[in-house]
Amino acid sequence: MWADVRKGARSAALGAALAIKVKRYINKSAYGILNGMTRQNAAPDMIAGFTEPIRYPNGETVPTVAHKNEFGDGRLIPARPFFRPAIHNDQNEWRSEAVTAAKNSIGGIDAFYDVMNAIGEAVVASVVEHIQKVETPPLSPTTIIKRREKRAEGQYVYSDTKPLMESLRMVASVRHKVIQK
């Protein structure tokens, strides 16, 4: 499981997405129900995470920044995992939600997309929650000073001291989308 996330995360360093294919994290019976709803053998999948190349004012993409924060950059930025803990802690909840939503659905491709979007929203909420929970390692004194200087210059700074919460751009960039095979 972690290898898949790390592989996707490595591509984020090149400006691609730090994301997961959610089908892998819902059990086979749930996906079987969902697949049956579409009356086809190749039901779409869904990805969630940092799927869009949204940019910070300095030109760096949000997926790249998310990757650096998740794994560290090996130099100045320490690892502050949020993505892998979200998967690890919440995937059983996503599975339950998938089964319940699929069983309560009337079927058909539109219902399938509704169910997948509901699961996607749950995944997005999990990732955002885990970003907001990150407290360690604390920011360096230099980073805190830089944030305070930005605020003094009139730039928006959500928190001077909370890791991953300077501008909230990363939090606001977590997305999901249903994709065709």
As a whole number, the mean pLDDT across the chain is 79
Q: What is the pLDDT of residue 42?
A: 56
Q: What is the pLDDT of residue 178?
A: 82
- Those residues with Cβ within 8 angstroms of residue 33's Cβ, 6 or more apart along the chain or in another chain: 99, 102, 103
Q: Which amino acid is at 170?
A: M
Phi, then psi, of 148 in degrees rounded to 5: -65, -35
Q: What is the pLDDT of residue 125?
A: 94
Q: What is the pLDDT of residues 93-107, one digit of tens each?
A: 888 877 777 777 666
**119 pLDDT tier (thresholds 50, 70, 90):** confident
Q: What is the pLDDT of residue 46?
A: 79
pLDDT higher than 50, residue 14:
no
pLDDT higher than 90, residue 112:
no
